[in-house]
Amino acid sequence: MRALAAFGKRVEEHRYAACIFPEGTRARDGAMKAFNPAGLMTLLRATPSAVVVPVAIDGSWELMRYRMRPIPFGVKVTCTVLAPISQ
């Protein structure tokens, strides 16, 4: 968590964008894992001015199944950008 807090500090100082998966990892089988708030809360504490924009990604697990080598033909990945939420 210290590394994530330090990362958050750099994000805040330089106004960078950051991405975090709420499960704490990426799904490797298509099933959504339990929400793990610790990483997200650590990042939010370190970035009080951050705008939080949820993005839902569906289907990317099929790319990860083969470590994206070769990229499988016909895999459909959908990204949905949701409305920003306040901290």
- Tens digit of pLDDT at every position of the chain (87 positions): 899 899 999 999 999 998 887 777 777 777 888 888 888 899 899 999 988 898 888 888 887 776 667 777 888 889 999 999 877
Tell me the C-alpha distance between 25 and 40, whole Å: 12
Whole-model pTM over 0.85: no
Instruction: Give residue 80's pLDDT.
Output: 93
- Provide the phi-psi class of 60: left if phi over 0, else alpha when psi is between -120 and 50, else beta: alpha
For residue 33 the two structure tokens come to 């894992």
pLDDT of residue 21: 79
The pLDDT value recorded for residue 11 is 92
pLDDT at 67: 67
